[in-house]
Amino acid sequence: MDSDPALLADMLHHRTGSLPAGSPVALPLTPASTYALPGTIDAPFTYGRAGGPTWSALEEALGVLEQAETVVLPSGMAAISAVLLTHLTRGDRVLLPSDGYYATRRLAEQFLTPVGVEVVLRPTAEYAQQDLDGFTVVLVETPSNPALDLCDIAEVSARAHAAGALVVVDNTTLTPLGQRPLELGADVVVASDTKAPNGHSDALLGHVATRRPDVLERVRQWRTLAGGIPGQLETWLVHRGLETLELRFDRMCSSALVLAERLEEHPATRDVVHPGLPSHPQHELASRQMARAGSLIGFALPDAETAERFLERARRVVSATSFGGVHTSAERRARWGDAVPEGFVRLSVGCEPTEELWADLEQALRGLG
Ligand SMILES: Cc1ncc(COP(=O)(O)O)c(C=O)c1O
C-alpha cells in the first residue's frame, strides 16, 4: 500500500491556491488568544481555546494526508487521552497493547481503572487470538513501540466492529505515509506528531483523525472544555515540519532497512528486529499492511553495560529518548521499564547519509558482543 503522490502535493499546496496577491507563501504564525467579535459569535475564530488559524492550517494539512478530519492536541498522549477519556466510562472494557508505548498503559491504570473501566492488556502479536466481545474500545499500536510487533488492522477492525467496539490505531511509528489505518477499517487514528511529522526534535504535538463525526465532536469538545491545547508556535513548527516529511521519512526508512540488514549480519548484535527484514515474524503482514517499514530498528547486545558502551562510542547516534527526528538517536529501552532485555537498543534512524551512519555503527560495535 503506497502513499498517494497526489496527497503529498495537495498537502504542500493546501493553502497556496487561495492566497490573495501579496500574501506570505509560508504559513503566518498567529499568536492570538482572542479574535475580533462584534455582535454575534458567528465567526471562524472567537477565542484561542476553541480554535485559531494556525491550528486550522495544520489540521487541514494533516487532514489531506489522513483523508479524514483531524483535531490537533498538545502531544501524542493528549490525543490518546482525548479519545480514551471521552469514550470510556464505568463498566466499559478497553483493550490495550501490553507491549506498546508505556505511557498509554500507565494512563489507563492510573486514570481509567480507578473510575471503573476494565483495562485488558495483551501483546500486539496476540490480538489475533483475543476474543473482542464486550469491549468498548480496542486500541492497536502496530508496529508496537519498542519491540516492533505487528497485528492485522483490517482483521482486528472487522472483529472489533462485529463486537460493537471502536477501533483506535496509534499510528505514531509509521505516520500516514507509512500506514493508513482508516483505509484498513479503523475508526480513529491517534498519533504523536512530536516524532517524524515535526521531525526536528523541537516541538511536542499530536492529532486525532477520524471519519466519524460523533468521535470528532467529542474530541473537539474535550479539547475546548478540558483546556489542554496546542501552543501556536508548536503548531506552526509541526506544519513546517510536515512539508518535508516525505523527503525525511523516505531517507529514514531506506537507511533503516539497509542498516537493519547489515546489523543482522554483524557478529556483535542479536535479535535484530525491523518489519522490513524477511526474518521479522510478521514480515508478510508488514508487506501487505505497511507502505514503509519505518525508521526504527531494535537489536540486542549482550547486557546493559555493552549497550551503554555502544551508545557512548557512536558519534553519529545521539543518546536520547523519542524517535523520528533528523538526528539518528538510540537508547536502551529497559531503562524505562519496557519488557525487553537489558541490552536491547532501539535505534531511530535519522537523515544522515546512510554510509556515514553505517561506518559509525560499525566502529561503535567493533569488539563488542
Ligand atoms: C507509539 C507512541 N504513541 C504515543 C506517544 C506519545 O507521544 P508524545 O510524547 O507526543 O505525547 C509516543 C511517544 O514516544 C509513542 O512512541
Helix or strand (DSSP H, E) at 58 = helix 53-66
Which atom of ligand 1 sits closest to the CA of residue 79? 11
**Tell me: the pLDDT tens digits for 199-233?**
999 999 999 999 999 999 999 999 999 999 999 99
Q: What is the CATH number of the domain that holds 262?
A: 3.90.1150.10
170 among known catalytic residues: yes
Q: Is 331 in the pocket of ligand 1 (CB under 6 A)?
A: no
- Protein residue closest via CA to atom 7 of ligand 1: 76
**Final residue belonging to a domain, choices 216, 242, 268:** 242
Q: Do 234 and 93 share a structural domain?
A: yes
Residue 74 pLDDT greater than 90, yes or no: yes
Residue 58 pLDDT greater than 70, yes or no: yes
* Confidence bin at 115 (pLDDT 50/70/90): very high
- Protein residue closest via CA to atom 9 of ligand 1: 76
* CA 48–ligand 1 middle distance (angstroms): 25
- DSSP H helices in 113-267: 153-162, 175-178, 213-226, 232-242, 245-265
Percent of the chain with pLDDT over 90: 97
- Max Cα separation, the chain? 74
Mean pLDDT of the 80-91 span? 98
Q: Do 20 and 145 share a structural domain?
A: yes
Catalytic residue among 149, 152, 193, 195: 195
Mean pLDDT of the 274-301 span? 98
For residue 323, the one-letter residue type is F
Quote the pLDDT of residue 2.
57
- Protein residue closest via CA to atom 4 of ligand 1: 76
Quote the pLDDT of residue 339.
87
The overall average pLDDT reported for the chain is: 97
Decide if 357 contacts 330 (C-beta within 8 A): no
* The C-alpha cell that represents 125 in the structure block: 502479536
Mean pLDDT of the 39-53 span? 97
Q: Do 80 and 61 share a structural domain?
A: yes
* CA 35–ligand 1 middle distance (angstroms): 32
* The C-alpha cell that represents 128 in the structure block: 489475533
Q: Phi then psi for 66, rounded to 5 degrees? A: -80, -20
Q: Is 141 in the pocket of ligand 1 (CB under 6 A)?
A: yes
Q: Do 281 and 185 share a structural domain?
A: no
Q: Do 250 and 236 share a structural domain?
A: no
Q: First CA to last CA across the chain, in angstroms?
A: 38
Q: Do 298 and 181 share a structural domain?
A: no
Per-residue burial over 289-318, b if 16 or more Cβ lie within 10 Å, else e, is: bbbbbbbbbbbbbeeeebbbbbbebbebbb
Q: Do 230 and 321 share a structural domain?
A: no
* Euclidean distance between CA atoms 279 and 273, whole angstroms: 8
Catalytic residue among 92, 99, 101, 127: 101
* CA 173–ligand 1 middle distance (angstroms): 9
Quote the pLDDT of residue 18.
86
**Final residue belonging to a domain, choices 208, 242, 276:** 242
Mean pLDDT of the 72-76 span? 98
Q: Do 172 and 137 share a structural domain?
A: yes
Counting the structural domains of the chain, the total is 2
Q: Is 172 in the pocket of ligand 1 (CB under 6 A)?
A: yes
Q: Give the residue, out of 81, 172, 295, with the most ligand 1 atoms within 8 A of its beta carbon, to mutate for a pocket test.
A: 172
Quote the pLDDT of residue 1.
46
* CA 23–ligand 1 middle distance (angstroms): 35
Q: Do 341 and 326 share a structural domain?
A: yes
49 among known catalytic residues: yes
**Tell me: the pLDDT tens digits for 298-329?**
999 999 999 999 999 999 999 999 999 999 99
* Euclidean distance between CA atoms 147 and 355, whole angstroms: 25
Q: Is 190 in the pocket of ligand 1 (CB under 6 A)?
A: no
Residue 287 pLDDT greater than 70, yes or no: yes
102 among known catalytic residues: no
Decide if 265 contacts 304 (C-beta within 8 A): no
Q: Is 76 in the pocket of ligand 1 (CB under 6 A)?
A: yes
Mean pLDDT of the 154-175 span? 98
Which atom of ligand 1 sits closest to the CA of residue 193? 10
Residue 163 pLDDT greater than 60, yes or no: yes
Quote the pLDDT of residue 4.
85
Q: Do 204 and 260 share a structural domain?
A: no
**Final residue belonging to a domain, choices 206, 223, 242:** 242
Q: Is 101 in the pocket of ligand 1 (CB under 6 A)?
A: yes
Catalytic residue among 10, 35, 49, 212: 49
Q: Do 249 and 238 share a structural domain?
A: no
| Domain extent at residue 335 | 245-365
Q: Do 263 and 309 share a structural domain?
A: yes
Q: What is the CATH number of the domain that holds 57?
A: 3.40.640.10
**Tell me: the pLDDT tens digits for 92-112?**
999 999 999 999 999 999 999
Catalytic residue among 99, 152, 170, 338: 170
127 among known catalytic residues: no
Quote the pLDDT of residue 369.
73
